[in-house]
Amino acid sequence: MKLQSRCPHCHQIEPIHAGTDTQSAHACPSCGLRYVPHRHMFVADALTDVRIAVRDDPVLSPPGVRPPSRQAAGSTAPARRRISTRTWSLITLVLVLVLAAQISLHHRHLWAARWPWLQPTLRTLCLPLGCRIQAPEVMDAVSVVTSGFDQLENGAFVFSLHLRHDLSHPVATPAIELILTDEQERPVLRKVLLPEHIGLANVMPSGPGLETETRFELDLELHGHVSGFRVELFYP
């Protein structure tokens, strides 16, 4: 069995004879690196599975000579940091896009009405989800301009209403709750009127608003009890 040592820098092989001090550092005859032979010994006549013991050598290298293992460690660390930074940047970008899509879908009705040029993009986002774009529901912006509940000569009642809003873009027309009251302003009859049931459009454009007039037939027993009315707006 022949023992040999291998220089960790230039891989120069040197035989180890009987009586050779393998515990002390000596200079490689090829590159001049000082290393301890005992830490880099291997069996010369092993034809398979040759294992080289590579350990960190505390002995300083000569000027200008650096072990390859340290160079590899120094060069791969920045690459790993770069890969990690790119990965996190990609994840951050994906999360920002998902959040932007969620916000856009939540406000799609208002944004489509306020900025019509966004409608194609919002409709594209809605395609995989099956959602729709419609007029926004902005209850605070809609108000009753005038309303009336009058009895005609033939005994029928006529309900008239004028709605409008103060925004610069269209809004959804709200439903109307008509409440008939007695002399003490107690409710006698409540009736919910949807826009399409009383001849109103489902969308209120900006401008003068919407007006309607609808006739009602009340039971004769209610005629003597109805003395007033109230109108309340809501979105179903």
At residue 58, the pLDDT reads 47
Architecture of domain 139-234 in this structure:
Sandwich (2.60)
Find the length of the chain.
236
Give me the residue spans of the domains in the chain: 1-66, 74-126, 139-234
Asked whether the predicted pLDDT for residue 29 surpasses 50, the reply is: yes
For residue 199, the 8-state DSSP code is T
Beta strands in 182-222 (DSSP E): 187-193, 203-204, 210-216
pLDDT of residue 60: 46
Lowest mean per-residue pLDDT among 13-17, 70-74, 133-137, 148-152:
70-74
Given a cut of 50, whether residue 57 has pLDDT beyond it is no
pLDDT digits 0-9 by tens, 182-217: 888 888 888 899 998 888 888 888 878 888 888 877
Binned at pLDDT 50, 70 and 90, residue 80 comes out as: low
In the prediction, which pLDDT does 24 show? 82
Taking Cα atoms as reference points, which of 190, 201, 172, 202 lies closest to residue 232?
190
Start-to-end CA span in the chain (Å)? 94
pLDDT of residue 172: 92
What letter does residue 44 receive in the DSSP assignment?
A: T
Mean pLDDT of the chain: 78
With a threshold of 0.85, does the pTM exceed it? no
Residues 201/210, Cβ–Cβ less than 8 Å: yes
Q: What is the pLDDT of residue 77?
A: 53
Render pLDDT for 115-160 as a digit per residue (tens, 0 to 9).
Answer: 888 888 888 888 877 888 888 888 888 999 999 988 777 778 888 9
pLDDT at 45: 60
Q: What is the pLDDT at residue 231?
A: 92
Which residue in the block uniquely carries the two structure tokens 């880099």? Answer: 40
Question: What is the model's pLDDT at position 27?
Answer: 84
pLDDT of 38 over the 80 cut: no
DSSP lists the bridge partners of residue 162 as: 146, 211
**pLDDT reported for residue 154:** 72
